[in-house]
Amino acid sequence: MEVVQAPSRSLAADVLSRWVGSLGAALASGDAAGAAGLFAADGYWRDILALGWSYRTFAGRAEIEGALRNTAAAARPRDFRLAPDRMPPRTVRRGGRDVIEGFVDFVTSAGKGTAFVRLLDEQTPAAWMVLTTLQELHGHEESVGARRPSGVEYSYNFAGDNWLDQRRKAQAYAHHDPEVLIVGGGQAGLALAARLGRVGVDALVVERNARVGDNWRHRYHSLTLHNEVWANSLPYLPFPTTWPTFVPKDMLAGWLESYAQAMELNVWTGTEFVGGTFDDAGRTWTVRLRRADGTAREMRVPQLVHATGSVSGAPRMPALPGLDGFAGEIMHSSEFSSGLRYQGKHAIVIGTGNSGHDVAQDLYSNGAAAVTIVQRSPTCVVSLVPSGTLVYALYSEGPVDDIDLITAAIPYPVLRETYQWLTAKTSRLDQELLDGLAAVGFELDYGDDQTGFHMKYLRQGGGYYINVGCSELIAQRLIRLVHARHIATFTEAGLQLSDGSCVPADLVVLATGYEKQAAGIRRLCGDEVADRVGDVWGFDEQGFMRNMWTRTGQDRFWLMGGALNECRLFSRFLALQIKADLEGLLPRPA
């Protein structure tokens, strides 16, 4: 998206500063109506933890006024000023509108906050959208930068434990239990553990794989991230500037392993979370762990976090007619590593999401005799470049921490309109590709409201493919396409279609996704906990991801997950809530 620079940056700063001054004066005098009058009629105020301990969206002046009447007295937002350490105010064009946007620091009764403000650039500027966020708690600031540990004690300590001795003891948990148990050592669990460590919370991450990073390392041989490196990274440690734009999975796996060490995270690998029960009276979890050596450990922990992503991590294995009689090899795509083993073999891949396409292409490229891909439902397809990268184009404009707040500020109705515009644009850019797929019968889908692939990710976690070459193979009939509705049954030798023809197979790969997070919660923590939590992922009524990064219906049970950029952003807010709860600052659930 093209950025139009203002004639003078100071002009944008002056306009924003005056608006901020008016907002601060209105709030200081308790004039909720006056504060709401500073917004456009179609303006939005989104809040993450700053006005209250929740994620909220307020649309229009009436809702904004009501929210301020209900929350401002307790939250006491004040001391609004332009943020000196963020991107400076600027004039840009967003959504067909000329706007002035910038960052504002402020203080609340709980801590320090940062806001992102987007003003309509009119004769009397009015706020189109505002995001307020709590960034740190009073008295519990992050130990970073000027507040970092001095380490001087290690220089004078010749007889006692050195740093490594202390780290080994901390990780052993021989004589105590952690304050927080995080289940899952991927990017989600590690990002949260890093944030918690910087605010003085003792957190243990348990990971069932043998090494940190194995959740990426063990995936199929050719896997590479489909979004650009500048949109990714974890808190505190950006990726090296030498890294490729699209990061290979083994680079990321190694980085996660080194990140855990560099950030001094307590991680038990080869450890399975067997289950947990919650004591409502004591507000404490009893959790059961099983380690790779067969030993078991029971812990009592105040806080439990499932950090296995927006899905549970357990493969979904659908019942397909006759598959149990198939004589060849059957595997889920999570078990597939490389097509090298299947040179000269006949393979069938079930599913046309990212994994299904990538597995099919891997098999074809490594010399499989024939590859067939089975489409079970219409699929959204976009090219990697340029279409797939347009969603993250904003990240090329500035520091990731600032862009994270800009993206979080976009309310659902505006996001929906933005994705409709993007989808129309990418469909034009990809017209030749899409026409080629349609010609061989591949069924395309961009959502009922034409919002495209990224909205599919946010709503359902799948249903799309970012093309890195498999679409051309399908369009050229080098990979055969079969629709699931034309399947009669699997046989010992392969797949029999409803027209009587047969597709021979030595291998069937089920690229059929994973069970939902709610199913994983039910399996590990029981029906009562799962019922209290409810559905996970997809938009809630406030336009945020349902039950992610916030309090759930189950006391002291949290969910952490998402892509790297989501983990970077929301790990801060989840860590703040957990710390506040441990310190008695978070109001008890109703």
Q: pLDDT tens across 460-506, in order?
A: 989 999 999 999 999 999 999 999 999 999 999 999 999 999 999 99
pTM for the model stands at 0.95
Q: What is the mean pLDDT of the chain?
A: 94
95 pLDDT band, cuts 50/70/90, is: confident
pLDDT digits 0-9 by tens, 250-297: 999 999 999 999 999 999 999 999 999 999 999 999 999 999 999 999
Candidates 240, 234, 250, 225; CA nearest to 192 is 234
Q: For a pLDDT cut of 90, what percent of the chain falls above it?
A: 89
Banded model confidence at residue 123, pLDDT cuts 50, 70, 90? confident
More confident residue, 3 or 88: 88
> 286: Cβ–Cβ under 8 A, 6 or more apart, which residues?
276, 277, 278, 279, 298, 299, 300
Rounded distance between C-alpha atoms, residue 111 and residue 136, angstroms: 5
Q: Which residue has the tokens 């097509």?
A: 339
Q: Which of 410, 415, 418, 398 is nearest to 131 (CA)?
A: 410
Long-range contacts of 235-239 (CB under 8 A, 24+ apart): 235/191, 235/194, 235/195, 235/568, 235/571, 235/572, 236/144, 236/194, 236/198, 236/263, 237/262, 237/263, 238/400
Band of residue 590 on the pLDDT scale cut at 50, 70, 90: low
Convert the pLDDT of each residue in 529-561 to its tens digit: 999 999 999 999 999 999 999 999 999 999 999
Please report how many Cα atoms fall inside a 13 Å half-sphere around the Cα of residue 53, on the Cβ side. Answer: 21
Task: State the pLDDT confidence band at 312, using cuts at 50, 70 and 90.
Answer: low
Query: For 562-570, what is the mean pLDDT?
Result: 96
pLDDT, tens digit, for every residue of 192-211? Answer: 999 999 999 999 999 999 99
Nearest to 37, CA basis, from 75, 64, 13? 64
| CATH architecture, domain defined by 317-512 | 3-Layer(bba) Sandwich (3.50)
The span from the CA of 361 to the CA of 373, in Å, is: 10
Beta bridge mates, 57: 46
Quote the CA–CA distance of 235 and 560 in Å, as a whole number.
14
User: What pLDDT score does 310 carry?
Assistant: 61
All structural domains of the chain with their residue ranges:
9-137, 176-313+516-582, 317-512
* Residue of 41, 264, 279 lying closest to 149 (CA atoms): 264
CB-based contact 139:130 (threshold 8 Å): no
Instruction: Kindly state the percentage of the chain with pLDDT values over 70.
Output: 98
Listing DSSP states for 491-545 in one string gives: -SSEEEETTS-EEE-SEEEE---EEEHHHHHHHHH-HHHHHHH---SSB-TTSSB
Nearest-CA neighbor of 77 among 36, 149, 26?
26
Residue 44: pLDDT band (50, 70, 90) is very high
Q: Is residue 9's pLDDT more than 60? A: no
The answer to whether 9-137 and 317-512 have equal CATH topology is no
> Measured between alpha carbons, how far is 399 from 565 in angstroms, rounded to an integer?
12
Task: Tell whether the model's pLDDT for residue 324 goes beyond 80.
Answer: yes
pLDDT of 1 higher than 50: no
Q: How many whole angstroms separate alpha carbon 479 and alpha carbon 361?
A: 8
Q: Check if the beta carbon of residue 186 is closer than 8 Å to that of residue 309.
A: yes
Any residues with CB less than 8 A from the CB of 153 and at least 6 apart, and which? none
What amino acid is encoded at 56 in this protein?
Answer: R
Q: Average pLDDT for residues 62-80, to the nearest whole number? A: 94
What is the CA angle 190-195-199, rounded to 5? 140
Query: Residue 311: pLDDT band by 50, 70, 90 thresholds?
Result: low
Tokens 């901020």 sit at which residue?
20
User: What is the fold, at CATH topology level, of the domain defined by 9-137?
Assistant: Nuclear Transport Factor 2; Chain: A, (3.10.450)
Does residue 8 surpass a pLDDT of 50? Answer: no
Which of 513, 516, 493, 507 lies closest to 331, judged by CA? 507
Those residues whose C-beta lies under 8 Å from the C-beta of residue 572, and which sit 6 or more positions away, are: 135, 195, 235
From the CB of residue 386, how many other CB atoms can be counted at a distance below 10 Å?
13
Model pLDDT for residues 398-407, shown as the tens digit of each residue: 999 999 999 9
Structure tokens, 444: 């395309």
**CB contact at 8 A, 378 and 488:** no
- 158: confidence class by pLDDT, cuts 50, 70, 90: confident
> CA 86 to CA 146: how far, in whole Å?
17
Superfamily of the domain at 176-313+516-582: FAD/NAD(P)-binding domain (3.50.50.60)
- Please tell me the distance from the alpha carbon of residue 470 to that of residue 590, in angstroms, as a whole number: 51
Phi, psi angles (nearest 5°) of residue 559: -120, 130
Q: Identity (one letter) of the amino acid at 207?
A: E
Q: How far is residue 510's CA from residue 373's CA, in Å, rounded to a whole number?
A: 10
Q: With contact defined as beta carbons under 8 Å apart, do 102 and 13 qualify?
A: yes
